[in-house]
């Protein structure tokens, strides 16, 4: 992957201060260097500046950016972050239309496709991407983001200048635009975080290009429009046909996402999702007499401290090792201790530019940094649960009736440490209700849906638009922080569109969680893994970790200059620290419980402090 950034003003003349604006572009590139440490490039003309930091995966020699192409007397320029998985089909189509290629990279396919078909060419793309294209003759800028929202792209309009960047930090390299947060942003952090409202950048005036959205700016207009959205239609395939088609889509997506001019690896937890991805990759490489690198992750002394609960019924490692034996992969077990886990909380804030999923993020970030020492591209099992209905709340009558975010239904844990004045200012319940209802109102129903089917569509839609986005953000930032490209085959556009219309009774036949996924991949995995009960990404249960973050949080609270102090009630915190933690009662998702509350507060303080954020209430 890569990092992209830039700025555009339809009436500004940048070349009058060329050195000044090129310095801004170089600074943007430096801030995104972790996303693309292999090569950097900038482009500046009268009205626009583009910056690119490249991680070389395909066409290592000639795929540099910004990429310029002329067509007649018109010039077009692109900066692009992503991978395209239908490159060959689109390239052949464009060649038949008379387009000539100078490279083998997908960047050129997207650029020449835009030249040939205009902005609508994005509708043909199957991949993970965020890119900016300028039509120099028309003095127009276009921003695009992939349909699933795998790759990020943030922007702001500052004094009529459109500033954009793969990560929020890049925006603040533009002189005069500084980090601020209002009550809306504080609600994003305290009321719904580590999720965030679609399109919201949390910082004041910062927006994110939505999945499947195009943003455009030219001398006559600024606007945005969705080029893609989910469409509901009757599912006409039989169960047997659905199983067969699902199996094809999964294996085809994985094979397509193996495309690379450098070796690939997989994350192997021992769960069904990562095991399916690993099995397909291992078999494909075996045809070429190659052995797949696999990586699993655990915590030091986890076998001693692990506590089974309804969300995490078993440890992953024994199942991962069974898959290694089954597939004969070149396996690496990576571990993380308490101090590293706590220290990496700071890096996780820097990676996401926001408070994140506490030690869930910090551990993945650490593991990705270790994987990068071996490989440059990894395939993961992310997104299967959102698409196939794997989470407990898909199967919970309580979730169906609660009419709020099912992964964060009880706000009491979020409130328990905040001071009363701040709670009154937040009006947490109202903010959550409004954001929830706004998303549910967008759900595309079918007129023939029953009441139960309509509710399951709502829960599925919420998961795709909110929960999946949080995990995709996590995977992108934690991997790209070390320049590791993480791919997510289950988020293939074809899988999302097809499975959206498969009735839940087929996704979970006879109540079997992810039964359709299991049946469609029957024969790929040993039965005890294929039919294993879901166990999410691991977290540490070592009480030493909680003691460590508690001590660090007390240090923060005892420092009167800490920005967190204005929000927290010290007496409530003291009482919380003297109450035994309930590791099996999460307040967000399936993993964030008592210890993660403390870690999340540390992240909030670190975020406010590190970014020198002005709080405007």
Q: At what angle do helices 338-352 and 594-610 cross, to 10 degrees?
A: 50
Q: How many CA atoms lie within 13 A of 238 on its CB side?
A: 2
CA separation (Å) from 401 to 405, 444, 446, 452, 453? Answer: 11, 19, 20, 10, 13
Per DSSP, the residues of 172-191 read TTSTT---EE-HHHHHIIII
- What's the half-sphere exposure (Cβ side, CA atoms, 13 Å) at 602? 26
3-state secondary structure of 134: strand
Q: Give the relative orientation of helices 87-96 and 106-117 as an angle to the nearest 10 degrees.
A: 40
Strand partners, 75: 70
DSSP per residue over 381-430, as a string? -TTHHHHHT-SGGGG-HHHHHH-S-TTS---HHHHTTB-HHHHHHHTHHH
With the C-alpha atoms ordered 418, 422, 423, 429, is the resulting torsion angle positive or negative?
negative
Closest CA to 213 of 194, 198, 195, 196: 198
Among candidates 485, 491, 472, which has minimal Cα distance to 57? 485
The catalytically annotated residue of 2, 105, 281, 383 is 2
The torsion region of residue 118 among left (phi > 0), alpha (psi -120 to 50) and beta comes to: left
Give the sheet arrangement for strand 2-8, strand by strand: 39-44, 48-54, 2-8, 161-165, 154-158, 207-208
Beta pairing, strands 180-181 & 39-44: unpaired
Q: Is 2 a catalytic residue?
A: yes
Classify 144 as helix, strand or coil: strand
| Phi, psi angle pair for 104, to nearest 5° | -110, 10
Q: How many CA atoms lie within 13 A of 289 on its CB side?
A: 0
Active-site positions read 2
């Amino acid at each position: 992957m890569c990092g992209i950034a830039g700025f555009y003003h339809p009436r500004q003349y940048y070349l009058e201060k060329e050195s000044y604006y090129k310095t801004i572009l170089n600074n943007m590139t430096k801030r995104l260097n972790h996303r693309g440490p292999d090569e950097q490039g900038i482009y500046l003309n009268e009205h626009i500046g583009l910056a690119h930091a490249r991680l070389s995966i395909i066409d290592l020699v000639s795929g540099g950016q910004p990429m310029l192409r002329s067509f007649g007397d018109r010039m077009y320029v692109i900066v692009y972050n992503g991978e395209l998985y239908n490159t060959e089909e689109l390239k052949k189509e464009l060649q038949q239309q008379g387009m000539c290629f100078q490279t083998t990279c997908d960047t050129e396919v997207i650029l020449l496709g835009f030249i040939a078909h205009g902005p609508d060419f994005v509708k043909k793309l199957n991949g993970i991407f965020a890119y900016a294209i300028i039509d120099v003759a028309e003095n127009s800028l276009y921003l695009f983001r992939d349909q699933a929202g795998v790759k990020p792209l943030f922007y702001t309009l500052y004094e009529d200048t459109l500033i954009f960047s793969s990560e929020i930090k890049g925006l603040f390299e533009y002189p005069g635009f500084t980090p601020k947060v209002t009550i809306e942003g504080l609600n994003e952090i305290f009321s719904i975080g580590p999720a965030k409202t679609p399109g919201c950048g949390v910082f004041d005036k910062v927006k994110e290009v939505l999945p499947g959205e195009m943003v455009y700016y030219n001398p006559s207009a600024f606007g945005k429009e969705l080029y893609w959205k989910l469409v509901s239609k009757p599912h006409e395939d039989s169960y047997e046909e659905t199983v067969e088609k699902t199996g094809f889509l999964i294996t085809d997506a994985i094979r397509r996402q193996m495309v690379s001019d450098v070796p690939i690896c997989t994350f192997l937890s021992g769960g069904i999702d990562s095991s399916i991805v690993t099995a397909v990759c291992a078999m494909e490489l075996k045809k070429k007499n190659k052995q797949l690198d696999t990586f699993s992750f655990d915590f030091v002394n986890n076998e001693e401290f692990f506590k089974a609960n309804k969300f995490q019924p078993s440890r992953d490692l024994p199942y991962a090792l069974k898959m290694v034996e089954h597939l004969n992969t070149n396996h690496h077990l990576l571990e993380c201790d308490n101090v590293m886990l706590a220290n990496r909380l700071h890096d996780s804030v820097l990676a996401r530019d926001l408070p994140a999923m506490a030690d869930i993020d910090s551990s993945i970030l650490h593991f990705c940094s270790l994987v990068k020492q071996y490989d440059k591209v990894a395939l993961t099992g992310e997104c299967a649960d959102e698409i196939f209905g794997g989470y407990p709340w898909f199967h919970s009558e309580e979730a169906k009736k609660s009419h709020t975010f099912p992964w964060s239904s009880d706000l009491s844990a979020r409130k328990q440490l905040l001071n009363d004045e701040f709670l009154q200012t937040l009006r947490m319940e109202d903010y959550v209700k409004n954001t929830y209802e706004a998303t549910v109102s967008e759900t595309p129903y079918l007129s023939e849906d029953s009441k139960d089917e309509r509710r399951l569509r709502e829960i599925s839609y919420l998961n795709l638009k909110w929960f999946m986005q949080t995990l995709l953000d996590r995977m992108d930032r934690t991997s790209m922080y070390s320049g590791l490209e993480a791919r997510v085959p289950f988020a293939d556009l074809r899988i999302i569109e097809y499975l959206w219309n498969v009735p839940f009774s087929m996704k979970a036949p006879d109540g079997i969680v992810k039964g359709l996924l299991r049946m469609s991949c029957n024969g790929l995995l040993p039965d005890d893994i294929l039919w294993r009960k879901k166990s999410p990404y691991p977290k540490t249960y070592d009480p030493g970790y909680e003691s460590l973050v508690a001590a660090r949080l007390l240090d923060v609270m005892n420092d009167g200059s800490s920005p967190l102090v204005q929000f927290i009630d010290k007496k409530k915190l003291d009482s919380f620290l003297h109450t035994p933690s309930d590791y099996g009662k999460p307040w967000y998702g399936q993993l964030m419980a008592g210890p993660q509350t403390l870690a999340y507060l540390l992240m909030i303080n670190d975020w406010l402090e590190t970014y020198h954020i002005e709080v405007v209430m």
